[in-house]
Amino acid sequence: GDSVTQMEGPVTLSEEAFLTINCTYTATGYPSLFWYVQYPGEGLQLLLKATKADDKGSNKGFEATYRKETTSFHLEKGSVQVSDSAVYFCALTPRGGSNYKLTFGKGTLLTVNP
């Protein structure tokens, strides 16, 4: 079945540091890929997405590129802020058919210190 593996963390960085959170996936065909963010006490919010190979999703300074050859969708940000402290989830949905269930990674806790 489909699966998502992401670095478990926790990740602790200083403000303005560079962030990478690794995500790899196993799926048949060409899934759609997502990064969700969960701030303390809140539900998950979509951060960015990519729906085909070589697509780059971007939002709020975060970027991730859909790499079919390495089955990866790593999340990056050039300069993190304290307000980026949250849990980040990589996820996929299979393409086509009637299965719209999200498969999540286990999440990565990011703490950014001033």
Partner 1 sequence: DAGITQSPRYKITETGRQVTLMCHQTWSHSYMFWYRQDLGHGLRLIYYSAAADITDKGEVPDGYVVSRSKTENFPLTLESATRSQTSVYFCASSDGVSNQPQHFGDGTRLSIL
| 37 near partner 1, judged by CB under 8 A | no
Helices (H), 1-107: none
Segment near partner 1 (CB under 8 A), from 20-28, 58-66, 76-84, 91-99? 91-99
Helix or strand holding residue 24 (H, E):
strand 23-26
Among 45, 79, 81, 113, binds partner 1 (CB under 8 A): 45
Q: Which two tokens stand for residue 101?
A: 């269930």
Q: Which two tokens stand for residue 26?
A: 């196993």
Residue 111, beta-bridge partner list = 12
Among 34, 62, 73, 88, binds partner 1 (CB under 8 A): 34
Query: Which residues of this protein are in contact with partner 1, per CB under 8 A?
Result: 32, 34, 36, 41-46, 49, 51, 89, 93-102, 104-107
